[in-house]
């Protein structure tokens, strides 16, 4: 009698594992909760090349209309003003940025069947878990590298005092109302746009290193910070995993942020392009005595820049700024 069996390296098993790994890796990434396909997420994701050829994705984004000038009274927006034909329309401006993708992979190999027999745990499942953890770490590392290269704002609070209540207030002000006196050489001309959550609430994310967060927790300012945040009730909750919420800023800590250099992030801080978000494969060697496991991705990451053009080569950071506070 013939028997049909599905072995551990069968294609169907590998496909199932790939789906499980995708879900798990998303849960493990720090930036997973900040990803989105629209233009109002910190990490804007595009998957245009998952189903077609190419090695780069172009991100297009518009610049907000600003300025105080407006047409008033009976002055025509466009038309005859009694003497001349006038047009008071304002041009919308757009930027674009080309993000190049590449393949990244990591693999492990079990030496042989007897190696699996000598241990009490499942080396196959352990390989899957370790590779998934690496994939999340690797993607986060690429995003941290990009976000930590954001422009540095010359702030009004004293450098070297660490993270303080006043510093957090000033960070939002200086990101939303840029001026040449606090930007220095970068001369930022546009404000950082907040991310929008369901219900229309707007927030910024402030990323801090655990060293800065630990010092802040011990300070008298932290008691003031927490009390004020809680007093605002359910409309200003402490998000899961966050240090706190204050004045429209959600504070998160992670070792990926540089000590003494917190990053304020808003919409379109980073561009993340996928050719294939996650790949998983298995192979056998030496007549099935040895088994190898591989995880990978085809992607590109770039800091969004608002007056650059292609390949992330020039311009000022679009949706993120850094501050120097010391530690």
- Per residue in 101-135, pLDDT (tens digit) is 999 999 988 776 755 555 544 777 888 888 999 99
Structure tokens given for 195 = 């991310």
Q: Does residue 143 or residue 308 have the better pLDDT?
A: 143
User: Residue 155 in contact with residue 188, Cβ under 8 Å?
Assistant: no
Rg over alpha carbons for the chain, rounded to the nearest Å, is 25
Q: What is the mean pLDDT of residues 133-141?
A: 94
Which of 7-11, 54-58, 76-80 has the least mean pLDDT?
Answer: 7-11
Q: What is the pLDDT of residue 124?
A: 77
Confidence band, pLDDT 50/70/90 cuts, at residue 175: confident
User: In residues, how long is the chain?
Assistant: 327
Higher pLDDT, 325 or 206: 206
Place of tokens 């001309």: 189
Output the pLDDT for position 187. 43
| The token pair that represents 180 in the structure block | 């040449």
End-to-end Cα distance, the chain: 73
Q: Count CA atoms closer than 13 A to 60's CA, side-chain side.
A: 2
Please tell me the predicted confidence (pLDDT) of residue 31: 93
Distances (CA, A) of 46 to 43, 98, 136, 150: 10, 12, 18, 21
Taking every pair of C-alpha atoms in the chain, what is the biggest distance, in angstroms? Answer: 98
What would the two tokens of residue 307 be? 């007056």
Question: What is the DSSP-derived secondary structure letter of residue 260?
Answer: T
Give the residue among 31, 33, 278 at the shortest CA–CA distance from 141: 31
* pLDDT tens column, 1-35: 333 333 444 444 445 555 666 677 778 889 988 89
Long-range contacts of 217-224 (CB under 8 A, 24+ apart): 217/243, 219/162, 219/164, 221/164, 221/165, 221/166, 224/165
176 pLDDT tier (thresholds 50, 70, 90): confident
Average pLDDT taken over every residue of the chain: 76
* Calpha distance 224→222 (Å, rounded): 5
Return the higher-pLDDT residue of 209 and 168: 209
Q: Which of 137-146, 165-174, 217-226 has the highest mean pLDDT?
A: 137-146
Question: Is pLDDT at 235 greater than 60 in this prediction?
Answer: no
CA 10, CA 29: separation in Å to the nearest integer? 28
Coil, helix or strand at residue 1: coil
| pLDDT exceeds cutoff 80 at 237 | no
Does residue 286 have a pLDDT over 50?
A: yes
pLDDT number for residue 227: 62
Contact present, 22 and 277 (Cβ < 8 Å): yes
Pairing relation of β-strands 152-153 and 244-246? unpaired
Q: What is the pTM assigned to this prediction?
A: 0.78
Q: Please state, in angstroms and rounded to a whole number, the distance separating the CA atoms of residues 262 and 210.
A: 10
Q: Output 79 or 217, whichever has higher pLDDT.
A: 217
Asked if 144 and 297 count as a contact pair (C-beta separation under 8 A), the reply is: no
């Amino acid at each position: 009698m013939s028997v049909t069996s599905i072995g551990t390296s069968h294609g169907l098993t590998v496909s199932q594992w790939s789906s499980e790994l995708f879900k798990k890796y998303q849960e493990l990434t720090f930036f997973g909760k900040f990803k989105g396909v629209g233009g109002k997420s910190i990490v804007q994701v595009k998957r245009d090349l998952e189903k077609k050829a190419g090695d780069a994705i172009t991100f297009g984004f518009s610049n907000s209309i600003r300025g105080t000038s407006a047409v008033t009274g009976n002055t025509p927006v466009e038309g005859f003003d009694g003497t001349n034909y006038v047009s008071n329309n304002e041009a919308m401006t757009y930027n674009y940025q080309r993000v190049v993708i590449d393949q990244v992979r990591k693999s492990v190999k079990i030496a042989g069947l007897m190696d699996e027999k000598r241990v009490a745990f499942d080396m196959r499942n352990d390989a899957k878990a370790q590779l998934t953890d690496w994939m999340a770490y690797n993607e986060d590392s690429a995003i941290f590298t990009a976000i930590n290269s954001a422009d540095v704002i010359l702030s009004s609070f004293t450098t070297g005092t660490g993270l303080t209540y006043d510093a957090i207030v000033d960070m939002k002000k200086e990101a939303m109302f840029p001026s040449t006196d606090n930007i220095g050489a970068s001369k930022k001309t546009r404000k950082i746009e907040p991310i929008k959550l369901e219900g229309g609430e707007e927030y910024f994310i402030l990323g801090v290193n655990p060293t800065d967060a630990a010092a802040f927790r011990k300070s008298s300012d932290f008691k003031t910070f927490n009390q004020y945040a809680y007093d605002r009730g359910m409309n200003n909750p402490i998000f899961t995993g966050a240090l706190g919420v204050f004045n429209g800023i959600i504070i998160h800590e992670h070792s990926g942020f540089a000590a003494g250099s917190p990053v304020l992030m808003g919409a379109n801080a980073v561009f993340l392009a996928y050719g294939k978000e996650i790949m998983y494969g298995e192979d056998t060697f030496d007549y099935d005595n040895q088994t190898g496991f591989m995880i990978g991705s085809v992607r590109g990451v770039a800091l969004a820049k608002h007056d650059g053009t292609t390949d992330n080569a020039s311009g000022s950071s679009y949706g993120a700024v850094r501050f120097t506070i010391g530690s």
